[in-house]
Amino acid sequence: MSPDSPSFDELCRWDREHVWHAFTQMAEYEPFIIERAQGRTLIDIHGRRYLDGVSSLWCNVHGHRHPRIDAAIREQLDRVAHVTSLGMSNPTTIRLARKLTELTPEGLRHVFFSDNGATAVEVALKMAFQYWQQRTDPRPAKTSYLAFDAAYHGDTLGSVSVGGVARFHAMFRPLLFDVVRAPVPDSYRLPAGVAMEQACGYYLEHVERILAAEHQRLAAVVVEPLVQAAAGMVRHPVGFLAGLRELTRRYDVLLIADEVAVGVGRTGRMFACEHESVTPDLLCLAKGLTGGYLPLAATLTTDEIWRAFLGTYAESKTFFHGHTYGGNPLGAAAALATLEVFDEERTLETLQPKIARLSEHLATLRDLPNVGDVRQCGFLAGIELVRDRATREPFPWEAQMGLQVCRRALTSGVWLRPLGNVVVIMPPLSTTLEELDTICGAVVEAVQEL
């Protein structure tokens, strides 16, 4: 640090006084200040090193300071840092749009860029709404949405409206629009009398009943494919997504797939929808899209939806929505490099043995007292701590059991952030087997000590 730099004490004091941290009780906040990072290692202002066990909140993909992504951003910086997307373009953003249409499920051909996961979802919600108002055969009554209990789609008011995490969202209830709710298709806490083999059919029947009754007023169903991440890495039964796609087609309701958390390689495939051969009508991407470097998001859609917005300016079919930094070229350069590294380093291929190793560690965890369920989807895992394994009774949320495990893991040099009583393991895809062993070992030790 230069002589003019603030001291460590000043940094801590200023951090407490001036920085209002996200999802953090500031009265209890203890400064934890990362000054640099390398690969999967975060290094704090005191030089202490921590493995990044949650990909800097689920977004880092190829590691921190990846030479290829660093160089792509620097190269873009030598051309131009920002070009607006309002009536203008730039080569890097164009190339990224083209690449995304090639990589995502067949049929998604148009990309609307914004700058974070919540905005990607807002864009999808508004596009779905406007589509029904102005397509050739308009359906003006289709103004509502079907969303799942415990869903999380971001923190802007539209995405909170379709969200369903009571702890985060209940406060804002008076500000939100109404949505139609379906039960969370949870594979761990099944409804009474429903066996695992019946779960998919059970949840789909429930959705079908809602669609049969409400489809005339539903613009879209919003879903986090395969895993409801913020709900506590809740896994949907296999086949649920494909079934939902089939039902939404049958009842003429659009399907919005929010792959903000699970997209870009996390599930072992490039996109979660690929696991069940699904093309949604709208696909939301953010987080890992830039490898965890810069805020950039994308909402992709089909020719059918795109065409409904075409006309003369006077017809007022324009999508009047935009964010100043949507499609920012520096972010686009990071995203293009991130996607190219998947090919250059055969990321998805080399990920498979790591997914298998993660399963082995989870098998150890499964047998520990206080562990109710372990859930895995590709290279993400949630370990749910419960008060009673037999009844699946949760710990009270105030007990902060997940946080206790994470605090203990920190003393072993592993940084994790829980979701209530669920310990999340979600390291960068480039994590080595040895690093994964360290992360999982720290979790096992911490859970054993509870």
Ligand X SMILES: Cc1ncc(COP(=O)(O)O)c(C=O)c1O
Q: Which is nearer to ligand X, 296 or 405 (CB)?
A: 296
Distance of closest approach, residue 116 Cβ to ligand X, in angstroms: 4
**Minimum distance from residue 129 beta carbon to ligand X (Å):** 18
Q: How far is the CB of 76 from ligand X (least distance, A)?
A: 21
Handedness of CA 12, 17, 21, 25 (dihedral sign): positive
C-beta nearest to ligand X: residue: 117
Residues 6+ apart with CB under 8 A from 63: 38, 39, 40, 428, 430
User: Which residue, 116 or 347, is less far from ligand X as judged by CB?
Assistant: 116
Q: Can you read off the two tokens belonging to residue 65?
A: 């300071």
Quote the least distance from Cβ 267 to ligand X, whole Å. 13
In the complex, least distance from residue 156 CB atom to ligand X, rounded to whole angstroms: 8
Closest CB to ligand X among residues 105, 201: 105
**Closest distance to ligand X from the beta carbon of 192 (Å):** 28
Task: Compare residues 224 and 373 and give the one whose CB is closer to ligand X.
Answer: 224
* Minimum CB distance to ligand X, residue 58 (Å): 6
Which residues contact ligand X (rule: CB under 6 A)?
Answer: 116-118, 121, 152-154, 224, 229-230, 258, 260-261, 286-287
* Closest distance to ligand X from the beta carbon of 423 (Å): 17
What single-letter amino acid sits at 174? P
Nearer to ligand X, 39 or 265 (CB): 265
Q: Return the number of the residue (273 or 371) whose C-beta is nearest ligand X.
A: 273
Q: For ligand X, which is the closer residue by CB, 171 or 213?
A: 171
Give the nearer residue to ligand X in terms of CB position, either 229 or 405. Answer: 229
Residue whose pair of structure tokens reads 């007292």 in the numeric block: 369
